[in-house]
């Protein structure tokens, strides 16, 4: 096992990449806390991971609410006595209002000319600010034990945007800056901090974008997305979970401050005439 007796917090762990990571961690000897707003799926993931032999619990946590982040860290320490790994998977497109906020917003049309302050603030809170404050809560415990692994999910869209989305891609670019600064600050305490930049990955992230499509149309769309990848397939949640495992284990003990693209060869160009 690569993570014997380790304890991890996986925010955004109910579905997709976070869920695959929780299952992978359990198989490698790691207990986990699933921190997510999706209670039904979060509990289901925790139950499935626990069947692999290591205890996994669910803590309802909205990453846009700093108090809930602190509560999640506190619950983890109360239950397991430590936290060795933080995986930041939570993110996406916010709904019309954030937790504990009276400010409503609408998702604007794409393009800088349609940039809205409310949506901009919400996007950065969900995809950047929450991760910074999760790091704030777990770092003191990691410093005390002189060990820690922090892995945050950014996006290949930072370097190769598939569509205009200044709000989302700016937030994900901020993750890279956060990782670089934390890696520098925490390295003397034997804490590794790295980022993963997924390319096109088949996860529930796309559900809102494909809400009007039939299952057949969705599969056709995913197949089309895969054709844009040099490896000629769309990625899976397990592809990301395997990379998270690498950064969480001692296999990567001399790596920190890195941003690894996991995109099947993207952003390399695909030369059709050569295939």
pLDDT tens column, 175-212:
999 999 999 999 999 999 999 999 999 887 777 677 78
Q: Is residue 215 part of a domain?
A: no
CA dist list (Å): 269 to 1, 39, 191, 227, 265: 37, 40, 35, 11, 8
Rounded to an integer, the average pLDDT of 39-67 is 96
Structural domain range at position 87: 7-203+236-265
> Using the 8-state DSSP alphabet, how is residue 245 labeled?
H
* pTM summary value: 0.92
pLDDT for residue 271 is more than 60: no
Using pLDDT thresholds of 50, 70 and 90, give the confidence band for residue 102. low
Residue 271 annotated as catalytic: no
Question: What's 38's domain CATH number?
Answer: 3.40.50.720
- pLDDT for residue 260 is more than 80: yes
Answer whether residue 225 is part of any domain.
no
Could you tell me which residues come within 8 angstroms of residue 248 by beta carbon, excluding any fewer than 6 positions away? Answer: 2, 3, 6, 8, 25, 30, 85, 87, 149, 151
Q: How many domains does the chain divide into?
A: 1
Tell whether 175 is covered by a domain: yes
Instruction: Encode pLDDT of 123-173 as tens digits.
Output: 999 999 999 999 999 999 999 999 999 999 999 999 988 888 899 999 999
Q: Is residue 129 part of a domain?
A: yes
In a domain, residue 194? The reply is yes
Q: Does residue 275 surpass a pLDDT of 80?
A: no
In tens, the pLDDT along 103-120 reads 677 777 888 888 888 889
**Lookup: tokens for 255:** 């790596």
Report the share of the chain in percent with pLDDT over 90: 74
| 40 and 10 Cβ atoms separated by less than 8 Å | no
- Helices within 28-92 (DSSP H only): 39-50, 66-80
Q: Tell whether 229 is covered by a domain.
A: no
Dig out the tokens for 86 from the structure: 């933080």
Check: CB of residue 10 under 8 Å from CB of residue 89: yes
With a CB cutoff of 8 Å and minimum separation 6, the contacts of 233 are 226, 264
At residue 270, the pLDDT reads 57
* 12 Cβ neighbours under 8 A, 6+ residues apart: 18, 35, 36, 63, 88, 89, 90, 91, 153
Span 18-36, average pLDDT: 98
Please indicate, yes or no, if residue 210 is contained in any of the structural domains: no
Q: Is residue 217 part of a domain?
A: no
Catalytic, out of 141, 159, 168, 206: 168
């Amino acid at each position: 096992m690569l993570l014997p007796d380790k304890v991890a917090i996986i925010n955004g762990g109910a579905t997709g990449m976070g869920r695959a990571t929780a299952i992978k961690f359990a198989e490698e000897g790691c207990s986990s806390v699933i921190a997510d707003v999706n209670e039904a799926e979060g509990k289901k993931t925790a139950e499935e991971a626990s069947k692999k032999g290591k205890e996994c619990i669910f803590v309802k946590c909205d990453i846009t609410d700093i108090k809930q982040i602190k509560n999640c860290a506190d619950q983890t320490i109360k239950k397991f006595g430590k936290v060795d790994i933080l995986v930041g998977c939570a993110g996406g497109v916010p709904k019309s209002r954030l937790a504990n906020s009276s400010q409503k917003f609408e998702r604007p049309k794409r393009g800088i000319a349609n940039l809205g302050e409310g949506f901009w603030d919400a996007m950065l809170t969900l995809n950047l600010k929450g991760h910074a404050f999760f790091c704030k809560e777990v770092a003191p415990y990691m410093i005390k034990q002189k060990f820690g692994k922090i892995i945050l999910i950014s996006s290949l869209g930072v370097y190769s945007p598939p569509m205009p989305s200044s709000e989302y891609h700016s937030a994900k670019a901020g993750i890279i800056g956060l990782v670089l600064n934390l890696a520098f600050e925490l390295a003397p305490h034997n804490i590794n901090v790295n980022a993963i930049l997924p390319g096109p990955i088949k996860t529930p992230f796309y559900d809102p974008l494909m809400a009007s499509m039939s299952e057949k149309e969705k599969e056709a769309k995913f197949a089309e997305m895969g054709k844009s990848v040099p490896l000629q397939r769309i990625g899976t949640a397990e592809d990301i979970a395997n990379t998270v495992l690498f950064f969480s284990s001692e296999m990567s003990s001399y790596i920190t401050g890195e941003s690894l693209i996991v995109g099947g060869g993207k952003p390399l160009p695909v030369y059709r005439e050569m295939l």
